[in-house]
Amino acid sequence: MSRSGFAAQAREGFQDRRHAGRLLAERLRELELVDPVVLGLARGGVPVAAEVAGALDAPLRVAVARKIGAPGQPELALGAVTAQGPATYDPRLLRSFHLDEQALQSDCEREREEARRRERAYQKGDPLPLAGRDVVLVDDGLATGATARAAVRMLRESSPRSVVLAVPVGAPDAVAALRREADTVVCVLQPVAFAAVGQWYRNFRATTDEEIYQVLDEVDTG
């Protein structure tokens, strides 16, 4: 696809996660990646990551991070946690809800246990060594960036050569904040009028566990 054709498709948004993954892969091909590994952030990032892994001829794995929701607003992430390592929080949001990390400890532990459960469920084959390799973390979009931030920090513990965060669409402020966390951020669309990730997809139905298992059966998991 020519650059002009790519840009035109991207401006119109994405048909579904697979289509978004193909457009994202076009951007990632431009990077000189060393022995890359692709990780899809569960759940919605996995179908996107499958297209990226295929285009890069790289193995695919699943990363899990769970948001820690605000009281009465579970979809608003005050922070996020992975199966290992400390939780990450947005200090500004904590202050706005008059909360601190201690007040959210039980929520954090509940979400950590769920992250562990999902990691076990999605594990296919032995864990891949990440040390010295370029790790491409893929999600279907960035709204607050809470789960992506937690996942990037978790991946740092494996001593990769670099961590590349790749998303089809993201809120400009979230993309800017994640540039301070990842070595490289690749984002196809950064709309000024961003309200939610789903508004940039024609089909944005929830990804199920069954779809993840199917994706992992279809692609090279290394």
pLDDT band with cut points at 50, 70 and 90 for residue 3: low
Q: What is the CATH number of the domain that holds 168?
A: 3.40.50.2020
* 219: confidence class by pLDDT, cuts 50, 70, 90: confident
CA 51 to chain centre: 14
Residue 113 within any structural domain of the chain? no
In a domain, 91, yes or no: no
Q: How confident is the model at residue 11 (pLDDT cuts 50, 70, 90)?
A: low
Q: Is the pLDDT of residue 205 over 50?
A: yes
pLDDT for position 75? 84
38-55 residue pLDDT tens: 999 999 999 999 999 999
- pLDDT digit string, tens, across residues 124-151: 777 789 999 999 999 999 999 999 999 9
d(CA 157, CA 144): 23
Whether residue 71 lies inside any domain: the answer is: no
Residue range of the domain that includes 59:
3-64+120-218
pLDDT for 127 equals: 79
Residue 95 resides in a domain:
no
- Tens digit of each residue's pLDDT (9 = 90 or more) over 88-109: 999 999 999 999 999 999 999 9
- Taking residues 15-30, what's their average pLDDT? 97
Q: Per residue in 148-199, pLDDT tens?
A: 999 999 999 999 999 999 999 999 999 999 999 999 999 999 999 999 999 9
In-domain check, residue 112: no
User: Does 159 map to a domain?
Assistant: yes
- pTM of the entire structure? 0.90
Rounded mean pLDDT, 80-86? 89
The answer to whether residue 150 sits within a structural domain is: yes
pLDDT exceeds cutoff 50 at 2: no
Q: Is the peptide bond before 117 cis (omega within 30 degrees of 0)?
A: no
Give the model's pLDDT for residue 4.
47
Number of domains in the chain: 1
Q: Helices in 31-131 by DSSP H: which ranges?
A: 45-56, 91-96, 105-122
CB 61 within 8 A of CB 128: yes
Could you give phi then psi for residue 15, rounded to 5 degrees? -65, -45
79 in any annotated domain: no
